[in-house]
């Protein structure tokens, strides 16, 4: 994808290592404004490493990450979050000893401290969260430790939204969930997109990716092997073979 005015996030030939092992090899991808992009691949292909690299949780050895026209490659994770990159990890990352309300409050306090992105007030924020996930209202006083898998994923996405992000990174948001919960989350992602938030989803299930993505990248062994419309991925035998193993 070539960069243009509407590109929110762009990765330009990034190489990332975990310890001595090179995981990403010249990965380039882009996410446009209000677009849902899926990064599909098998387990170990480099999806989580890509998301972690964008978030600043893993250092990029070479290449550039550009967010809203600004090079953020050398920024710390907390600075990227304050710039407007939201993140919900594979394990949801809910703080176990904090209540759901406290989990939301952290994002909100920090987003207000970050200042200039037209951040919502507490009431507007609550409305935004509960409009997306009305069921969360019932367990805001519950500690993270006592949430089910689906509840954790909902709270993680809602918490990331509380930072008023421009781009939302979702790492395996549908993994391990019942089909009805997956449908619920896909519906939520569609609504998040409608709010004008760009979404990058790391997903190993191609069928789930097809349901939500405007565009799709396939990754294998740390390299992007396909970029295009979801339907065209289905017609590409080599891509299908690689993704499905």
Query: Does position 110 bind another protein by CB under 8 A?
Result: yes
Pick one of 109, 121, 131, 229: the residue that binds another protein (CB under 8 A).
109
Query: Does position 78 bind another protein by CB under 8 A?
Result: yes
Query: Does position 90 bind another protein by CB under 8 A?
Result: no
Give dist(CA 111, CA 51) in Å, integer. Answer: 21
Residues 156 to 195: which contact another protein by CB under 8 A?
Answer: 159-160, 163
Q: What are 57's two structure tokens?
A: 């949780």
Pick one of 12, 42, 75, 105: the residue that binds another protein (CB under 8 A).
105
CB 11 within 8 A of CB 50: yes
Number of residues that bind another protein (CB under 8 A): 28
CB 130 within 8 A of CB 154: no
Q: What is the chain's Cα-based Rg?
A: 17
Residues 25 to 64: which contact another protein by CB under 8 A?
Answer: 55-57
- Alpha helices by DSSP H, listed for the chain, are 47-55, 77-83, 100-114, 122-132, 149-161, 179-194, 206-212, 230-234, 237-244
Query: Does position 77 bind another protein by CB under 8 A?
Result: yes
Q: How far apart are the first and last CA of the chain?
A: 26
Query: Does position 98 bind another protein by CB under 8 A?
Result: yes
Cβ 235 to another protein shortest distance, Å: 36
CB 147 within 8 A of CB 139: yes
Q: How many other CB atoms sit within 10 Å of the CB of residue 49?
A: 23
Pick one of 2, 5, 97, 118: the residue that binds another protein (CB under 8 A).
97
Cβ 22 to another protein shortest distance, Å: 19
Give dist(CA 15, CA 1) in Å, integer. Answer: 18
Pick one of 50, 53, 107, 242: the residue that binds another protein (CB under 8 A).
107
Pick one of 95, 117, 181, 228: the residue that binds another protein (CB under 8 A).
95
Interface residue list for another protein (CB under 8 A) = 55-57, 76-78, 81-82, 87, 89, 93, 95-98, 102-103, 105-107, 109-111, 113-114, 159-160, 163
């Amino acid at each position: 994808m070539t960069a243009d005015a509407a590109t929110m996030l762009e990765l330009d030939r990034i190489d990332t290592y975990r310890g001595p092992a090179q995981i990403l090899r010249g990965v380039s991808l882009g996410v446009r404004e209000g677009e849902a992009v899926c990064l599909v691949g098998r387990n170990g292909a480099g999806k989580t490493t890509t998301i972690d690299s964008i978030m600043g949780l893993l250092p990029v050895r070479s290449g550039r990450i550009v967010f809203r026209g600004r090079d953020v490659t050398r920024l710390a994770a907390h600075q990227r979050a304050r710039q407007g990159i939201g993140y919900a990890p594979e394990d949801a990352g809910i703080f176990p000893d904090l209540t759901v309300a406290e989990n939301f409050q952290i994002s909100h306090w920090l987003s207000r401290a970050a200042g200039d992105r037209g951040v919502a007030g507490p009431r507007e924020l609550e409305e935004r969260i509960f409009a997306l996930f009305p069921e969360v209202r019932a367990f805001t006083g519950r500690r993270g430790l006592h949430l089910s898998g689906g509840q954790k994923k909902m709270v993680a996405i809602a918490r990331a939204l509380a930072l008023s992000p421009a781009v939302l990174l979702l790492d395996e948001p549908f993994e391990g969930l019942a089909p009805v919960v997956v449908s619920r989350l896909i519906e939520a992602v569609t609504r998040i997109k409608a709010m004008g938030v760009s979404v990058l989803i790391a997903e190993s299930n191609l069928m789930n990716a097809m349901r939500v993505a405007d565009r799709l990248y396939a990754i294998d062994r740390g390299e992007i092997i396909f970029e295009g419309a979801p339907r065209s991925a289905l017609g590409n035998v080599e891509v299908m073979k690689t993704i499905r193993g």
